[in-house]
């Protein structure tokens, strides 16, 4: 999602090198975090029912730029709980 000169060397070990291990992959696609991501999405939908109508790119942007403290806290917990 950004210009990282080392992006091509960042590969997801969980996805067996088939995916670039960037912030978008971590937050949106990696199977290792699917259960926690689904739980996060469910909690966001309670506050923002239209969340399910967003594209993946818009969901990523929403989660990383939201000014809602409750959702920020949930996203931060997802990151904290899943970053090694």
What residues does each domain of the chain span? 22-82
pLDDT confidence bin for 36, thresholds 50/70/90: very high
pTM: 0.80
The string of pLDDT tens digits covering residues 45-72 is: 998 999 999 999 999 999 999 888 999 9
| Residues 71, 47 contacting (CB under 8 angstroms) | yes
Alpha-carbon span 51 to 28, nearest angstrom:
14
CA distances from 20 to 12, 23, 36, 51, 69 (A): 6, 9, 20, 25, 30
């Amino acid at each position: 999602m950004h210009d990282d000169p080392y992006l091509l060397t960042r590969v997801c070990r969980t996805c067996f090198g088939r995916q670039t291990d960037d912030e978008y992959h971590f937050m949106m696609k990696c199977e290792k975090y699917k259960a926690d991501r689904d739980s996060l999405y469910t909690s966001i939908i309670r506050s923002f029912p239209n969340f399910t109508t967003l594209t993946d790119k818009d969901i990523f942007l929403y989660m990383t730029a939201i000014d809602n403290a409750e959702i920020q806290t949930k996203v931060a917990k997802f990151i904290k709980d899943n970053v090694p």
